[in-house]
Structure 1
Amino acid sequence: MNRSRTSSTSERAAPAFLWGCELNQEKPTWTFKAQKEGKQDCKLLLSTICLGEKAKEEMNLVEILPPGSHEDRKRKPIILASLRASVLPMVVLTGLELSPPVTFHLRAGSGPVFLSGQECYEKETRVKQVKRLAPQKQTSAAKKKKVEKEEEAARYSLKDRSPLGKAKTTIKPKKPGSKK
């Protein structure tokens, strides 16, 4: 499993790591667990499932196994991808967020099948109590007219600044022509 940190210019962005695993005949099951311990929420954003270059021409089924608790044993596995080298060697997924632990299983085929995505950690943000503002009075007609005049003045000042507004108009003299 290869992991590397992805950088972000935004301070609000949650830390994210590239994640990947390989499912094959020798190791058909892989369980994703959060790498960081603590109070941070972890999500796996699964993005790609693809066959390796040595995959045979056979059906490869990748599924998610339900968690191992007694209540969840009644739930059936969910198939994520059905891949065949000559027909559909890769699947791109969008918007699939999984919470750990998640167990992937190669149900059919010998692989290799590669899964990749991002391991994201959400920073805890404290919710601030904000006082509700009292309902504001409706603006009077005079105030509305004043605002409209200010908006008009702003529009005209923008026209004066534009290159088209500065262009001089020239009047072309009419050519004397023959009258018929």
Structure 2
Amino acid sequence: MSFLVSDASSDDSQGSPVESYMFGCELSSKTTYYTFQVDEEDDCEHNLSLCSISLGEGVRDEYNVVEVTARNHINEDISVPIATLKLSCQTMVNLDNFVIQPPVTFRLKSGSGPVLLSGQVIVVPPYMDSEEEEEEDDEDDSDDEEEKEDLVPIKPANKKLRK
């Protein structure tokens, strides 16, 4: 089971819409994995920001390991455990907005759950990405110049030889 609910739309200073949606899914022995993906024809940038992973109602006191599979920078699938939960010692993990780009698959690697994942999907139009990158590049260039002016060359220490 999974859900996407419209959370809010916000506008940047130029009126370009940034959409965000609430995300959630449940992993259990009946549904051991969930894949979040977007339409390949969609030009918008989609980011999934995970907030928390927690044990659901009726869970047994066993280790529940949640693994995420996503693509790395060279387009290879990589799997990493992101949460190990147990009723008697750790029932929830706060991921502090762990951001990942789809397609991504969450799998209940061990345990029977239920394990609940929650977060937010952020959708940014493609024209907004290029404008922001140009502004950031301009800001970065001016910051680099200011830092160079503030730098003082370091002189090597005098070496004294002991006899």
Q: State the alpha-carbon separation in 2 of the partners of residues 4 and 22 from structure 1.
A: 15
Shift of 1:2: 2.3
Give the superposed CA RMSD.
2.6
Matching residue of 2:107:
105
Alignment of 1:53-64 (within 5 A): 53-64=57-68
Q: Percent identity between the aligned chains? A: 32
Change (3 A) 1:54 1:93: same
Shift of 1:11: 1.3
Q: State the alpha-carbon separation in 2 of the partners of residues 28 and 66 from structure 1.
A: 16
- Which structure has the highest strand share of the two? 2
Matching residue of 2:47:
43
Unaligned residue ranges in structure 2 (runs of 5+) = 139-163
Matching residue of 2:153:
none
Q: TM-score, normalised by structure 2?
A: 0.68
Shift of 1:38: 1.9
Unaligned residue ranges in structure 1 (runs of 5+) = 133-180
Deviations 1:91-138 (A, max 9, x none): 1111411100001110110000010100110123253989x9xxxxxx
| Aligned-partner SS, 2:60 | coil
Whichever of the two has the greater Rg, that structure is 1
Q: TM-score, normalised by structure 1?
A: 0.62
Q: State the alpha-carbon separation in 1 of the partners of residues 64 and 27 from structure 2.
A: 10
Shift of 1:25: 0.5
Alignment of 1:77-156 (within 5 A): 77-123=79-125, 124-125=127-128, 127=131
For the 8 Å contact 2:70–2:103, the answer to whether it is kept is: no
Q: State the alpha-carbon separation in 2 of the partners of residues 37 and 16 from structure 1.
A: 19
Deviations 1:25-57 (A, max 9, x none): 111111011269521000000001000011100
| Aligned-partner SS, 1:15 | strand
Q: State the alpha-carbon separation in 2 of the partners of residues 35 and 59 from structure 1.
A: 34
For the 8 Å contact 2:70–2:102, the answer to whether it is kept is: no
Would you say how many aligned residue pairs link Structure 1 and Structure 2? 125
Deviations 1:7-29 (A, max 9, x none): 25x41262000011111111111
